Amino acid sequence: MDKQPVICKDLGVIDYQSAWDYQENLLQENVSIKTVARKATPPLTPGETDTKHYFLFCEHTPVYTLGKSGLMEHVLLSDEQLKQQGIEFYKTNRGGDITFHGLQQIVGYPILDLEKFYTDIGKYLRNLDEVIIRTIAEYGLVGDRSEGETGVWLDPHIPGKERKICAIGVRCSRWITMHGFALNVNTDLNYFNHIIPCGIQHKQVTSIQKETGRSIDYDTVKEQIKKHFEDVFGVKMV
């Protein structure tokens, strides 16, 4: 059986709003296609619709984003301080709390029609975790999940040593996904000092660079993510 194609696009360094708008446009195009398909007589099955899957890579200029369940008090800087430091801020429509996006952090935004895979958001999130777990294993890092918390962690079950290496937060409309993950590669972790990351007190944030003690080739990590995404989701990047 042929693997489903996923259109892979590298947006490079892009501001958060532009990437968000682009995702929304792709999501709404797919939702419109599904709406038309469901009005067909007889109704088309999900596999018969011509929705398209996308995977967007990008790096963001410095920005804090707050998810739907997030609290403003988890941002520790005032509006004026954010402006002085050149950091943008957005309230978003994804799940999760507060996080940071910046240079040398790989942000991945899958726009998938889950009805062509499975209608299970929990499974989708676990599969995103698995992509990152397999990717950081290439650097000798053992990623894991932390019960009740999203993202990929190192040593999540050892009190005082828990550290998050990848944040994950998604939105799903008519089973079309958007938003995604942010993996710290050579990210400047000082930006996380000005927020309570993901609203979780007393836990650290880390990066592949910090854990390995060396600068990591950013483009190589992207290629590894693509490979593992294809394997975990059983798709073909095009």
Report the distance separating Cα 100 and Cα 45, nearest Å: 39
Q: Are 132 and 138 in contact (CB under 8 A)?
A: no
Report the catalytic residues.
198
- At 39, which amino acid appears? K
Tokens of 209: 């660079």
Report the distance separating Cα 19 and Cα 16, nearest Å: 5
Only one residue has tokens 């005032």, namely: 78
Q: Are 185 and 59 in contact (CB under 8 A)?
A: no
Report the distance separating Cα 149 and Cα 124, nearest Å: 15
Report the distance separating Cα 23 and Cα 205, nearest Å: 27
Tokens of 124: 């989708």
Residues 6+ away with beta carbon under 8 Å from 175: 113, 114, 115, 119
The number of beta carbons lying within 10 Å of the beta carbon of residue 124 is 20
121-137 vs 218-233: helix crossing angle, rounded to 10: 140
Query: Which is it for strands 204-205 and 163-173: parallel, antiparallel or unpaired?
Result: parallel
